[in-house]
Amino acid sequence: MGRKILFFTTDQQRYDGLGCNGGSVARTPNIDGLANGGINYRRAHPQSVVCMPSRSTMVTGQHVASHGVWMNGVPLPIDAPSVAATLHDAGYKTALIGKAHFEPFMDPFLRYTENKLAISGEFSMLHGGHLHRGFDHMESASHGGMGTFHYAQWLMKNHPEAVAMYYRVLDMELQVNAAGGGDTGGPQVHDNAIPREWYHTDWVADRAISWLDSLDPDADWFCWVSFPDPHHPWDPPSSERHRVNWRDLDLPEGYPVDRAEREAILDAKPRHWRKWYDGEFYSNYEAPARWVPNTLTDDQVREVNALTHIENELIDEAIGRVIAHVERRGWANDTDILYSTDHGELQGDFGLLFKGPYHVDSLMRIPLIWKPAPSAGIAPASIDAPVGHVSLASTFCHIAGLPAPDYAEAPRLPTNEDEVRAFGHERVLTEWDSVLFGKILHMRTICRDGWIATTCLPGTVHDGTEGELYNLADDPLQRHNLWDDPSRRALRDDLIADMWDHLPTTVERRGVDAPV
Question: Distance between CA atoms of 391 and 60, rounded to whole angstroms?
Answer: 10
pLDDT band at 306 (very low <50, low <70, confident <90, very high): very high
Q: Which of 8, 17, 16 is nearest to 230 (CA)?
A: 17
- pLDDT tens for residues 422-458? 999 999 999 999 998 889 999 999 999 999 999 999 9
What pLDDT does residue 214 have?
98
What pLDDT does residue 170 have?
81
Locate all alpha helices (DSSP H) within 329-360, ordered by sequence.
Answer: none
- pLDDT tens for residues 356-410? 999 999 999 999 999 999 999 999 999 999 999 999 999 999 999 999 999 999 9
Q: Which CATH number fits domain 4-425: 1.10.760.10, 3.10.580.10, 3.90.230.10, 3.40.720.10?
A: 3.40.720.10
Kind and range of the H or E run holding 11? strand 4-11
- pLDDT tens for residues 80-131? 999 999 999 999 999 999 999 999 988 888 899 999 998 999 999 998 889 9
- C-alpha to C-alpha distances, 466 to 178, 279, 415, 506, nearest whole angstrom: 30, 20, 37, 21
What pLDDT does residue 312 have?
98
Question: Distance between CA atoms of 458 and 172, rounded to whole angstroms?
Answer: 35
CA 480, chain centre distance (Å): 26
Question: Distance between CA atoms of 507 and 36, rounded to whole angstroms?
Answer: 40
**Do residues 39 and 381 lie in contact, with contact meaning Cβ atoms separated by under 8 Å?**
yes
Report which DSSP code applies to 290. Answer: T
What are the residues facing 132 on neighbouring strands? none
**E-strand spans in 397-440?**
427-434
Question: Distance between CA atoms of 425 and 324, rounded to whole angstroms?
Answer: 33
Question: Distance between CA atoms of 360 and 349, rounded to whole angstroms?
Answer: 10
**3-class SS string, 191-234:** CECCCHHHCHHHHHHHHHHHHHHCCCCCCCEEEEEEEEEECCCE
Residue 162: Cβ within 10 Å count: 18
Share of the chain above pLDDT 70, in %: 99
Q: What are phi and psi of 371, to 5 degrees?
A: -105, 100
Rounded (5°) CA angle 246-252-255: 120
- Per-residue pLDDT for 202 more than 70? yes
What are the residues facing 187 on neighbouring strands? 180
pLDDT band at 258 (very low <50, low <70, confident <90, very high): very high
**Do residues 359 and 430 lie in contact, with contact meaning Cβ atoms separated by under 8 Å?**
yes
What pLDDT does residue 93 have?
98
Share of the chain above pLDDT 90, in %: 88
- Per-residue pLDDT for 148 more than 90? no
What pLDDT does residue 437 have?
83
